[in-house]
Amino acid sequence: MRILVIDTATQALSVALLDDGAPLGHFHEIVGRGHAEALLPAIAALPDGGRADAIAVDVGPGSFTGVRIGIAAARALALAWNIPLHGYGALAMIAARAAAGDHKDESLAVTITGGHGELFWQAFSTDGLAPLGPPASTPIAELAKQLTQPTLYGTGAEALVTARGHGMAVSLYPDAADYPLIAGLPSLPPSPIYCRGADARPMAERAAS
């Protein structure tokens, strides 16, 4: 069973072709805003052009643009190849990687850099596989008062530890090669998880304000 995994929800561009969980090809690089230009070439460079029996794509939360780019590419390939498409959460992927490391706290908190001074975040069981609540987007100053875990994980961890004034930050990005860690979780619909409204407002709404 070959699975193509696509992850563009953060500043990292990450793709992997897995065969029964074993990596056949893998690309992972911090590209910032360059996902649109780099994604299809990265997939094409995988063995067999990334051709798989199913596709898994990160549906967020994360970068509005990055999430949409990944899902659009995954939908197009799934349609062209006539194969199933599954979604997974960015925060769950990071939590599973953190739990596979040296994490020993009673619960696990993951944060991803958001916009407008906010962080996307979610708490998980110590094994990283059971969410303790839904993903959310919260201002950093407010979240600093809520999360008490000694160690925080994800791209927003350093900013949150700085705001709290204590704790340890472990910067982690979702990595497509880690998909086997969450392959047993229920799949999500291949639709974006935003956790907050879009930055842009409709013209009528702006005119009325």
pLDDT in tens, 196-206: 655 444 444 44
Residue 112 bridge partners (DSSP): 120
**For the chain, percent of residues with pLDDT exceeding 70:** 93
The residue assigned the tokens 């962080």 is 119
DSSP string over 107-120? EEEEEEE-STTEEE
For the residues 77-88, what does the mean pLDDT come to? Answer: 98
Q: Both tokens of residue 140?
A: 């950093």
Helix 35-44 and helix 64-81, axial crossing angle in degrees, nearest 10:
30
For the residues 14-26, what does the mean pLDDT come to? Answer: 97
CATH of the domain spanning 91-170:
3.30.420.40
pTM (two decimals): 0.91
The reported pLDDT for the residue numbered 200 is: 42
Report angle CA 151, 152, 156 to the nearest 5 degrees: 155
For the residues 137-147, what does the mean pLDDT come to? Answer: 96
Q: Which residues contact 14 (CB under 8 A, 6 or more apart)?
A: 5, 6, 7, 8, 27, 28, 29, 173, 174, 175, 176, 177
Q: Architecture of domain 2-89+174-181 in CATH?
A: 2-Layer Sandwich (3.30)
Q: Which conformational region is residue 117 in: left (phi greater than 0), alpha (psi within -120 to 50 degrees), or beta?
A: left
Q: Give the start-to-end residue ranges of the domains of the chain.
A: 2-89+174-181, 91-170
Q: Does this chain's domain 2-89+174-181 share its CATH topology with 91-170?
A: yes
The reported pLDDT for the residue numbered 197 is: 54
Q: Which of 153, 146, 48, 166 is nearest to 94 (CA)?
A: 153
